[in-house]
Amino acid sequence: MTDSTPWMNAHSPLPAYTTTSWLAPVRVAAQSLRDSQRMVSQYVLVIESGVDESKNINTTTLALNFDATDDPKIDLNYTIREYPSDFRIQRNDVWYPRAAGIGGCTIHNAMDNGIGGLRQTFDKISGWFNDSSWTRDNMQKYFALLERNLYLTPPNPDHGLIFDGWLRTIRAPVNFSTTDPQWEAVGNAAIAAAGPLIEDINSHLPLPRSARGLTATGKLEFNLTSLSFKLSGIGDSAQLKKLGIPTVVDMPGVGSNLQDNDEIPVFWELQQNFTDPEKYFQHLPMLRRWSPISTRISSRKSSLGLSVITASTPNFLTIVNLKAMTSSKGYVRLTTSHPQDLLDINKLRFQAPGGQEDIEALREGVKRWRKIINTNADLQNHLVREVSPGGNVTTDEDLENFILEHVFAHHACCTNAIGPDGDPQAVLDGEFKVRGVRNLRVVDASSWPEIPGYFPTSPAYMMAEKAAQVILKEANKV
């Protein structure tokens, strides 16, 4: 069926979307790599709504994630607030990229499927429930189940016995060798600054503090689970009462604990336009069917931190400093009892303990990249000027104000968090069950108690694989 009704927080109606349903096969990991070929097949009913963009080049091509993010055919047009109303800087009505297509935000993610930085989170959950299945080392088997590795030879203790999953992964190149001297200078400067090479960032081994990895890539969701719960009467009873929604389960954690990365960009103008990114990527086997790779630089939405000027200026270098684990804890709240009315989404960025330290970390990141770019001998023949923050922004205070005005991120999560027994903010238990409700589980980006590593996509896939096993085990299927 189709429906052209606008979505929540949409500024204008979206194209008609389709509701689809189908039976999908599910494979569940066995208890160990030794018997990983023993899979259990079941079928689940999948119901999903959205625009079908499976043949859209923006949603299927590596390096076109910003084109996909800005694609008006799938843009949900969410808006958020960054700070509380009494904060000295106000950034309201900030555009937040979410996808209205089938597949959700998986269709506009950056195809970065690294799983580094997860040990802290997985081992914490394991400790809460005295459940060794949650340990980081054990969770590696779920990544091995879903991955179809194209850069190693099976078997491999971290990637499985036969590499037959659905998620194809490749490695980014180790060096930049192109016919464009400017492109090569930029790439080699970044590589030289990153530290020692990690051969496999998706192994179970801890990552060093500073290093460069061969990022695995292949093709998450700021989800509406919290919204659905509250409309159903599961949430903070005080908020529900104000909206005339009868409380079924008083659960103040629903919609709270909103977390996200902190990212801040720095822009430089270069002497020449970038001419051949498609030549640089041509040797990657997964990209040979796309020719040429688009050289478009899209930036319809300036709130992503990618200045509008880059949309028509193909000679800009952008370095984005990303702080993965952050202190901010915001919220998602209803404003009425109608599911299509605007939501109140506030990041409350930098307001929790540790907020100033997050700002300082971003500030030092800007300083570090300024030093790298401005002192690299090969780059000096290509640099024109720093455009943003700009050469006149030099003091710590000025840099911190720049960060407050321009910080962004798009990996929202954690609003229905797993947590230990006795924690009033814990929405889920260690088996993804909604506390106080029978036969209801949540398995998506909202389930995390804290930001999962550096990029949320593959960690969410791993969590889903574990949930499938938990459900089948309870049903005596495994």
Q: Return the CATH fold of 54-413.
A: Glucose Oxidase; domain 3 (3.30.560)
Task: State residue 177's pLDDT score.
Answer: 62
pLDDT band at 81 (very low <50, low <70, confident <90, very high): very high
Task: State residue 328's pLDDT score.
Answer: 97
389 vs 396: CA distance, rounded Å: 12
Q: Is 241 exposed, middle or buried (0-12, 13-18, 19+ CB in 10 A)?
A: exposed
**Residue 410 Cα to chain centre, angstroms:** 6
CB atoms inside a 10 Å sphere around CB 389: 21
Q: Is the pLDDT of residue 185 over 60?
A: yes
124 vs 44: CA distance, rounded Å: 30
Task: State residue 440's pLDDT score.
Answer: 92
**Residue 247 Cα to chain centre, angstroms:** 32
Task: State residue 37's pLDDT score.
Answer: 38
137 vs 203: CA distance, rounded Å: 9
The amino acid at 450: E
The pTM assigned to this predicted structure is 0.85
Q: Is the pLDDT of residue 95 over 80?
A: yes
Put residue 93 in one of left, alpha, beta given phi > 0 → left and psi -120 to 50 → alpha: left
Task: Tell me the CA distances in angstroms from 300 to 90, 107, 147, 273, one per residue in order.
Answer: 22, 18, 33, 20
Task: State residue 452's pLDDT score.
Answer: 94
Beta bridge partners of 434: 428
Residue predicted with more confidence, 23 or 307: 23
446 vs 436: CA distance, rounded Å: 18
Lowest mean pLDDT among 97-106, 159-168, 286-295, 341-350: 286-295
What's the whole-number mean pLDDT along residues 71-99? 89
Both tokens of 420, joined, read 């230990």
Within 288-329, strands assigned E span 316-323
Q: Is the pLDDT of residue 4 over 60?
A: no
Q: Is the pLDDT of residue 92 over 50?
A: yes
Helices marked H in 201-263 — which ranges?
A: 225-231, 237-242
265 vs 187: CA distance, rounded Å: 17
Task: State residue 225's pLDDT score.
Answer: 64
CA nearest to 460, candidates 440, 445, 441? 445
462 vs 457: CA distance, rounded Å: 9
pLDDT band at 212 (very low <50, low <70, confident <90, very high): low
Task: State residue 172's pLDDT score.
Answer: 66
Task: State residue 401's pLDDT score.
Answer: 97
Task: State residue 291's pLDDT score.
Answer: 39
82 vs 91: CA distance, rounded Å: 6
Q: Is the pLDDT of residue 1 over 70?
A: no
Q: Is the pLDDT of residue 32 over 60?
A: no
409 vs 301: CA distance, rounded Å: 13
Number of residues written out for the chain: 478
Residue predicted with more confidence, 166 or 3: 166
The amino acid at 110: A
Task: State residue 364's pLDDT score.
Answer: 94
Task: State residue 465's pLDDT score.
Answer: 92
The answer to whether the beta carbons of residues 97 and 75 sit under 8 Å apart is: yes
340 vs 363: CA distance, rounded Å: 39
Instruction: Please state whether beta strands 249-250 and 234-235 pair in parallel, antiparallel, or not at all (unpaired).
Output: parallel
Helix (H) or strand (E) holding 343: none
The angle that helices 396-406 and 355-375 make with each other, rounded to 10 degrees, is 110
The amino acid at 314: P
Q: Is 200 exposed, middle or buried (0-12, 13-18, 19+ CB in 10 A)?
A: middle
pLDDT band at 65 (very low <50, low <70, confident <90, very high): confident
pLDDT in tens, 266-310: 989 888 876 645 554 444 444 444 433 333 333 334 334 443 344
257 vs 423: CA distance, rounded Å: 13
Task: State residue 258's pLDDT score.
Answer: 97
465 vs 444: CA distance, rounded Å: 11
Q: Is the pLDDT of residue 41 over 70?
A: no
Instruction: Give the mean pLDDT of the chain.
Output: 79
What's the whole-number mean pLDDT along residues 359-370? 94
309 vs 321: CA distance, rounded Å: 19
3-state class percentages of the chain: helix first, strand second, coil last, to nearest 5? 30, 20, 50
pLDDT in tens, 393-444: 999 999 999 999 999 988 999 999 999 999 999 999 999 999 999 989 999 9
- Judge if the upstream peptide bond of residue 155 is cis by omega within 30 degrees of 0: yes
Both tokens of 455, joined, read 């990029």
Q: Is the pLDDT of residue 222 over 60?
A: no
Task: State residue 361's pLDDT score.
Answer: 95
Both tokens of 308, joined, read 């509008």
Residue predicted with more confidence, 64 or 176: 64
What's the whole-number mean pLDDT along residues 145-150? 91
Q: What is the percentage of the chain residues whose pLDDT exceeds 70?
A: 75
pLDDT band at 114 (very low <50, low <70, confident <90, very high): confident
- Judge if the upstream peptide bond of residue 452 is cis by omega within 30 degrees of 0: no
Q: Is the pLDDT of residue 246 over 60?
A: yes
Residue predicted with more confidence, 116 or 222: 116
Task: State residue 404's pLDDT score.
Answer: 97
What's the whole-number mean pLDDT along residues 451-455? 90
How many Å from the N-terminal Cα to the C-terminal Cα in the chain?
36
CB atoms inside a 10 Å sphere around CB 144: 26
